[in-house]
Structure 1
Amino acid sequence: MSVFDQIARPKDGSVWITGASSGIGRAVALRLAQDGWTVYATARSAGKLAELEIEAESRPGRIIALPGDVTDPTRMAICLAEITASGPLAMAILNAGVYTPMRATNFKAETARTMLRVNLEGVANALDPLLRYFIPRGTGVIAVTASVAGYRGLPDAAIYSATKAGLIAMCESLAMDVVDLGIRLSVINPGFVRTEATAVNDFEMPFLMEPKNAADRIVDGLARPGFAITFPRRFSLLLRLIGLLPNRSYIAAIRTMLGWRAKP
């Protein structure tokens, strides 16, 4: 049996979710609590995590707030140590990420550095202790939230697309190792989801989904064998097909599909 057939269940241990205070991460935490999981929820906002704990009180499982900043590698190691001190960890969903629209006319290196630190380094900071925990045990499930924006560059996403492309490549590369180590590593590639982050977009977002629907796709995807969990399928397929075009044709096609025009 391939490691990509491995399915984690509540009886196997707990689940750790980063970026759990809002958007997709929050919705996934609530869905998993509904499914009976003990969910350790990590984000910078202790207040939002406390509210999440309260909202989950009536569900079969529970949510335990574990505040932390993914850009702090020491804190990520401490979070994992606190989780595993209470029992085994079966699955981790590394979801923390930030998105700031960036065009050629407002390109700022500091904004770029923030996205790189959170979206790429933040995942690496959590992966480090996670792999050291799971590898000796020869089992475990890790899922990383990337995006269909990582397939090729998208408007307003010069750095965001770059970070998500990096995550996809990171997961593909690590997957070549974990097939021999007993660990399932999956990459999650959502399309547009209605969150505080996407609310700032001023262009058409095809197949826009609600966070609850995205969470259902993610949790259901992790309950099936596989490496990539990608949705909506029609949008993903469309982007992949358009992505096969030569660069000049690809840029023209995406501009047309999203009704894109640069603003001075």
Structure 2
Amino acid sequence: MANFSNPETGVAWVTGASSGIGRDVALRLARDGWTVAATARRREELDALATEANGLAGKIIACEGDVTDHTGMTRVALDIERNEGPIALCVLNAGVYLPIDARDFKADAFETTFAVNLTGVANCLEPAIAAMKARGRGQIALVASVTGYGGLPTSSAYGASKAALINLAETLRIELDPIGILVQVVNPGFIDTPATKHNPFPMPALMSSPDAADRIVTGLKSRGFEITFPRRFTYVLKALDFLPARWRLALVRRATGWNRADSTPLD
């Protein structure tokens, strides 16, 4: 049976760690004593993050890389294992949000979104699962989103990629639990990050990124499959799925202001 990890069992690997949730999760894990291998494309931000972690119980190591690079992610994982220790925990958080207005539909936004949000996760999973399988233990969290529950305005590419991640996490949980690898999915509500700054609709129960990181790290200490927050909002979205589609879509249109013919198009 899979079991959750702790700083004594190895290193935490966090992707998308240069900003937002990934950055704050890396800092929170370091405060809890983890050695954190932080991956993102921007080396300067990673170095600043490692410096900020000085004096904490653990430490942060900058591991520059692009999750869309299959070979590169294998190399990053091997370097972590060789130089820092076994990867015991993965928080696969790297993601991109490209808003799309269906009245000006852009297919290339889907290609970019899925390359990062889905294939990028798969590129990290391959070396991580191989290493954990050899040891018979490990923990993996995929950061998806409540937009994966159902359609929301401007989120056709982003929401579809996150729905795919939720499905992927469920499958991995079924298949990897018997060999000692615990898989979880993180479904946050609206978090105050650069990705959400310009959403053209209300964002109920908006949370700060540090608060979200605290919720995630607390959830990682459990065996629960889904880590979702704030529940007063995310459980409402879950409940909408039990309604007939006609009612659910009408409620979403009304709540987001997209029931008006003059809804402002994206720039």
TM-score, length-scaled by structure 2: 0.95
Partner of 1:71: 68
| Shift of residue 91, structure 1, vs aligned partner | 0.5
Amino acid at match of 2:186: I
* Separation (CA, whole Å) in 2 of partners of 1:177 and 1:143: 15
Amino acid at match of 1:155: P
Partner of 2:264: 263
Aligned with 1:75: secondary structure?
Answer: helix
Partner of 1:94: 92
* Separation (CA, whole Å) in 1 of partners of 2:246 and 2:31: 47
Aligned with 1:229: secondary structure?
Answer: strand
- Aligned residue pairs total 261
Q: What pairs up with 1:14-33 in 2 under 5 angstroms?
A: 14-33=11-30
Partner of 1:150: 148
Aligned with 2:60: secondary structure?
Answer: strand
Task: Give identity over the alignment, percent.
Answer: 50
Runs of 4+ deviating beyond 6 Å = none
Aligned with 1:180: secondary structure?
Answer: helix
Q: Is there any run of 5+ residues in structure 2 with no aligned partner, and where? A: none
Contact 2:182-2:223 within 8 A present in 1 as well: no
Partner of 2:4: 7
* Separation (CA, whole Å) in 2 of partners of 1:225 and 1:74: 31
TM-score, length-scaled by structure 1: 0.96
Corresponding position: 1:128 with 2:129: no
Aligned with 1:189: secondary structure?
Answer: strand
Q: What pairs up with 1:1-264 in 2 under 5 angstroms?
A: 2-3=1-2, 6-86=3-83, 87-260=85-258, 261=260, 262-264=263-265
* Separation (CA, whole Å) in 1 of partners of 2:21 and 2:151: 22
Aligned CA-pair RMSD: 1.0
Q: Is there any run of 5+ residues in structure 1 with no aligned partner, and where? A: none
| Shift of residue 88, structure 1, vs aligned partner | 1.5
**C-alpha deviations, 1:35-85, integer Å up to 9, x for none?**
111000000101110110111112111100000000001010001000100
Aligned with 1:39: secondary structure?
Answer: strand
* Separation (CA, whole Å) in 1 of partners of 2:17 and 2:11: 15
Amino acid at match of 1:208: L
* Separation (CA, whole Å) in 2 of partners of 1:220 and 1:139: 20
| Shift of residue 174, structure 1, vs aligned partner | 1.4
* Separation (CA, whole Å) in 1 of partners of 2:163 and 2:39: 24
**C-alpha deviations, 1:104-138, integer Å up to 9, x for none?**
12321111110010001000110111111111211
* Separation (CA, whole Å) in 2 of partners of 1:41 and 1:137: 22
